[in-house]
Chains A and B, each alone.
Chain A
């Protein structure tokens, strides 16, 4: 194996000035050559990815051609709302706050979710909180899911989620990302702008997004960057400290939920290195030594990466056709 494939703490280091220049140039090129739109809409969650994406859009086009959307709902944390506002003000962009809770209520999002939760925890009701936690990934087991609920008096309860209820809870909460995207496209159409998707490489590669929800966009400026690199860019772009130091959460369930609790086998810092190692054919033993896990756990992390790629490949795909419509091929 060549030295360039050695796994060290420095493998995610990169020249940030060059990267910013590359991304901003490419954004302008895509708008001009592919999208033919005159600006960009970015939904700002208050998290690191949407903040860095918005900042890069402003770097590329200036604040007057970027429109920010804050789209909170009933389960959004108050910190994410305040961080989103702080970022929009810091960037000097025009922005709008649209509370999507009434739309979600009208669609039955909360009702469908709570019905599924109640079939596992019958006493669940007003004032209770919830989240889903993943098990499996690193220890050779298939991924499966636990429901965690907290009663109004603070008592926690964990139950294994049967498949039907798991799917119904996820389907209901996916309404959140899909409604947000509908609003993003409304404003993009209104302004003749394009919509920015804000996944980092880990999310994009592993399919951690909702198809036709946050996975839908016209351009995804940081999908090639590991999350560690996105944090580094946030500091390089001098984003507010509250954003640079924010812990990544899904901000989708009412109990605080880390992304590694819900989807990834490891916290993002370690997942970044595991994904890099997998992409550079680093042997499992070397990854194990680096992460401080045993070799079979490292092998399972690799298998989990591949399994998620397989399971979510269709989410990247356009609709499959029975026959190719060849006349469209030359229009890219």
Chain B
């Protein structure tokens, strides 16, 4: 399973309670669409650290890195490349 599939499945399963792929666009803003709240974002960070063995630093906890499937995919790829 690709990183994008893992992230997408995690969001669909845990926050949207569905396996319907069309329920989540790759650029959908989690906060603006009301998909994940601020505590949920901390859960997503925990998931990323656990699943992809990356450390999300305090100054990386910004929407540009974490507020959509695409943002997370790019962020994780960047972290893993270091």
Interface residues, chain A, with chain B CB atoms under 8 Å away: 135-136, 140-144, 160, 162-164, 166-167, 307-308, 310-311
Interface residues as binary, B20-34 with A (CB distance below 8 Å gives 1, 0 otherwise) = 000000000001001
With A136-B61, A307-B31 as given contacts, are A142 and B37 in contact (CB-CB < 8 Å)?
no
The answer to whether A307 touches B46, judged by C-beta atoms less than 8 angstroms apart, is no
With A142-B66, A163-B46, A164-B46 as given contacts, are A311 and B58 in contact (CB-CB < 8 Å)?
no
**Which residues in B have their C-beta under 8 angstroms from that of A307?**
31, 37-38
Q: Which of A142, A164, A311 has the most CB of B within 10 A?
A: A142
The answer to whether A163 touches B58, judged by C-beta atoms less than 8 angstroms apart, is no
Question: What is the interface residue range for chain B against chain A?
Answer: 10 to 19
The answer to whether B38 touches A142, judged by C-beta atoms less than 8 angstroms apart, is yes
**Which residues in B have their C-beta under 8 angstroms from that of A140?**
62-63
The answer to whether B41 touches A142, judged by C-beta atoms less than 8 angstroms apart, is yes
The answer to whether B43 touches A142, judged by C-beta atoms less than 8 angstroms apart, is no
**Which residues in A have their C-beta under 8 angstroms from that of B43?**
163
- Say yes or no for B16: interface residue by CB 8 A criterion: no
Q: A143 vs B40: C-alpha distance in the bound complex, in angstroms?
A: 11
Closest to A137 in B: B38
The answer to whether B58 touches A310, judged by C-beta atoms less than 8 angstroms apart, is no
The answer to whether B58 touches A141, judged by C-beta atoms less than 8 angstroms apart, is yes
With A163-B43, A164-B46, A166-B42 as given contacts, are A144 and B37 in contact (CB-CB < 8 Å)?
no
**Which residues in A have their C-beta under 8 angstroms from that of B61?**
136, 141-142, 144
* Chain B stretch 1-56: residues in CB contact (< 8 A) with chain A: 31, 34, 37-39, 41-43, 45-46
Q: A21 vs B45: C-alpha distance in the bound complex, in angstroms?
A: 50
Q: A308 vs B43: C-alpha distance in the bound complex, in angstroms?
A: 17
Q: A143 vs B61: C-alpha distance in the bound complex, in angstroms?
A: 8
Q: A136 vs B37: C-alpha distance in the bound complex, in angstroms?
A: 14
Q: Which of B34, B38, B46, B66 contacts A143 (CB 8 A)?
A: B38
**Which residues in B have their C-beta under 8 angstroms from that of A311?**
37-39
**Which residues in B have their C-beta under 8 angstroms from that of A167?**
39
* Contacts A310-B34, A311-B38 supplied; 20 other A-B pairs, CB < 8 Å: A136-B61, A140-B62, A140-B63, A141-B59, A142-B38, A142-B41, A142-B42, A142-B61, A143-B38, A162-B46, A163-B39, A163-B42, A163-B46, A166-B42, A167-B39, A307-B37, A307-B38, A308-B38, A310-B31, A310-B37
The answer to whether B39 touches A144, judged by C-beta atoms less than 8 angstroms apart, is no
Q: A189 vs B61: C-alpha distance in the bound complex, in angstroms?
A: 47
With A307-B31, A310-B34, A311-B38 as given contacts, are A142 and B62 in contact (CB-CB < 8 Å)?
yes
**Which residues in A have their C-beta under 8 angstroms from that of B41?**
142
The answer to whether B46 touches A144, judged by C-beta atoms less than 8 angstroms apart, is no
The 6 closest A-B pairs by CB, nearest first: A311-B37, A163-B42, A142-B61, A163-B46, A141-B61, A142-B41
